[in-house]
């Protein structure tokens, strides 16, 4: 009897080993091309993770900066009292930041007025119109100029092509101007316009609005800039001081309405104050905000790669494949994504 039991136990043991060996033998290897593709993605996400860790800062968690981000997010999400204000706020922010460029363009047009120089100014307006002229809206018919995002330009904006047009026309007209001063003025003018031709079209869009409006003195931008500077020493979490400043300078905001395209239904002291509060906070946190939004852009790219890697790994489950070591490595910077997930969702694709 003992011999029979021993034989059965021995048979079972070897049988189990055979099954294990059989299970292992049916596992496939991950195709070499897939391993190469995975490792390429992993190398890219490691680079982005390193950049993200460098950009990440403790200053992003400070209450005042988080207050600014909450307001910026409300503009972007178009919610609550910020509904319908984002485009106007961004236009005005850029207008103030680039005021020296706009003022230089305006002063050149006023000072140098030969027929050939005027021809170039007219040409700039012509190509701006080709890029940004849109179907009239109800607000435009009521006397307010608007260049809104909701109505796309006639063709896709390209800063490279825009600059090529500027330079081509500049060479043509410059050759007909005899005085060196006139040539230099036109060169400076073209250079100023080119500075507005960045990847985002908002600077040129503003120039188009300025040229189409009946505002003849853009020095009001300097006054608005002074207001923003004044607010740097104030507690911007309290809107009362901002509203008082708007009330004292209401005529400035009435004029600037034509530039930022604020609909008539939004022309209130409260809305002007919300915009001015945002401009003050943007100036106060300018450096941190630039770094934070760069982080958001990097983390959006990171998330795209993360999704690709996770989807790739799902194709090769450990139960069916002999996984290379790279397939079991943790993806770096997950903790950064989790920390800012809500903000990445809002801002990641905007940058």
For 83, the token pair is 């509904």
Cα 177 versus chain centre, distance: 40
Q: What is the mean pLDDT of residues 188-195?
A: 97
- pLDDT tens for each residue of 120-165: 999 999 999 999 886 444 444 444 444 444 445 456 889 999 999 9
SS3 percent helix, strand, coil of the chain, rounded to 5, is 75, 0, 25
- pLDDT tens for each residue of 28-56: 999 999 999 999 999 999 999 999 999 99
Q: What is the mean pLDDT of residues 11-39?
A: 68
- pLDDT tens for each residue of 153-172: 456 889 999 999 999 999 99
Phi, psi (degrees; rounded to nearest 5) at 323: -85, 135
Q: At CB < 8 A and 24+ separation, what contacts does 128-134 make?
A: 128/204, 128/207, 128/208, 128/211, 129/208, 130/154, 130/155, 131/155, 131/157, 131/162, 131/201, 131/204, 131/208, 132/201, 132/204, 132/205, 132/208, 133/208
- The C-alpha angle 273, 279, 284, rounded to 5 degrees, equals 125
Is residue 112 within 8 A of residue 173, CB to CB? The reply is no
DSSP β-bridge partners for residue 29:
322
- Determine the Cα–Cα distance for residues 20 and 169; give it in Å rounded to an integer: 78
- Give the chain's mean pLDDT: 87
Tell me the pLDDT band of 207, cut-offs 50, 70 and 90.
very high
Q: What pTM did the predictor assign?
A: 0.78
Strands 321-322 and 28-29, sheet pairing: parallel
Q: What is the pLDDT of residue 155?
A: 67
- Determine the Cα–Cα distance for residues 79 and 97; give it in Å rounded to an integer: 26
Tell me the pLDDT band of 2, cut-offs 50, 70 and 90.
very low
Minimum mean pLDDT range among 9-13, 111-115, 168-172, 308-312: 9-13
Cα 162 versus chain centre, distance: 20
Is residue 38 within 8 A of residue 326, CB to CB? The reply is yes
- pLDDT tens for each residue of 243-301: 999 999 988 888 887 677 888 889 899 999 999 999 999 999 999 999 999 999 999 99
Q: Pick 209 or 67 by higher pLDDT.
A: 67
pLDDT over 60 (residue 348): yes
Is residue 88 within 8 A of residue 260, CB to CB? The reply is yes
Q: What is the pLDDT of residue 154?
A: 56
pLDDT over 80 (residue 223): yes
pLDDT over 70 (residue 16): no
Is residue 333 within 8 A of residue 48, CB to CB? The reply is yes
- Determine the Cα–Cα distance for residues 70 and 191; give it in Å rounded to an integer: 37
Helix H or strand E encompassing 322: strand 321-322
Q: What is the pLDDT of residue 270?
A: 93
pLDDT over 60 (residue 21): no
Is residue 269 within 8 A of residue 250, CB to CB? The reply is yes
Q: Pick 330 or 14 by higher pLDDT.
A: 330
- pLDDT tens for each residue of 76-85: 999 999 999 9
Using DSSP, state whether 93 is helix, strand or coil: helix
CA distances from 21 to 8, 25, 27, 162, 318 (A): 20, 6, 10, 68, 16
The residues, any chain, with a CB within 8 Å of residue 266's CB and separated by 6 or more, are: 84, 85, 88
The residues, any chain, with a CB within 8 Å of residue 116's CB and separated by 6 or more, are: 173, 176, 177
């Amino acid at each position: 009897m003992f011999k029979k039991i021993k034989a059965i136990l021995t048979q079972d043991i070897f049988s189990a080993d055979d099954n294990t060996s059989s299970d292992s033998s049916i596992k496939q290897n991950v195709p070499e091309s897939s391993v190469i593709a995975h490792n390429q993605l992993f190398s890219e996400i490691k680079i982005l993770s390193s950049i993200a860790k460098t950009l990440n800062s403790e200053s992003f968690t400070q209450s005042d900066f988080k207050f600014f981000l909450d307001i910026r997010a409300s503009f972007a999400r178009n919610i609550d009292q910020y509904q319908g204000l984002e485009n106007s706020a961004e236009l005005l922010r850029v207008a103030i930041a680039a005021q020296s460029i706009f003022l230089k363009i305006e002063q050149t047009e006023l000072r140098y007025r030969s027929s050939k120089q005027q021809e170039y100014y007219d040409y700039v307006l012509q190509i701006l119109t080709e890029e940004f002229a849109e179907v009239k809206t109800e607000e435009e018919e009521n006397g307010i100029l608007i260049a809104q995002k909701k109505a796309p330009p006639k063709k896709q904006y390209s800063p490279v092509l825009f600059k090529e047009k500027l330079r081509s026309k500049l060479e043509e007209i410059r050759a007909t101007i005899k005085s060196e001063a006139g040539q230099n003025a036109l060169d400076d003018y073209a250079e100023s316009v080119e500075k507005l031709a960045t990847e985002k079209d908002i600077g040129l869009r503003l120039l188009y609005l300025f040229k189409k409006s009946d505002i003849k003195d853009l020095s009001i931008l300097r006054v608005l800039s002074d207001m923003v500077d004044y607010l740097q020493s104030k507690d911007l979490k309290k809107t009362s001081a901002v509203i008082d400043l708007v009330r004292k300078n209401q005529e400035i905001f009435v004029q600037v309405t034509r530039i930022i395209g604020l609909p008539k239904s939004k022309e209130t002291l409260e809305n002007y104050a919300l915009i001015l509060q945002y401009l003050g906070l943007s100036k106060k946190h300018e450096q941190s905000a630039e770094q934070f939004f760069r982080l958001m852009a990097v983390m959006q790219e990171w998330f795209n790669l993360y999704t690709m890697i996770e989807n790739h790994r799902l194709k090769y489950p450990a139960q069916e494949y002999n996984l290379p070591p790279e397939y079991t490595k943790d993806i770096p910077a997950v903790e950064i994504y989790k920390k800012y997930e809500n903000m990445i969702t809002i801002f990641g694709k905007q940058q």
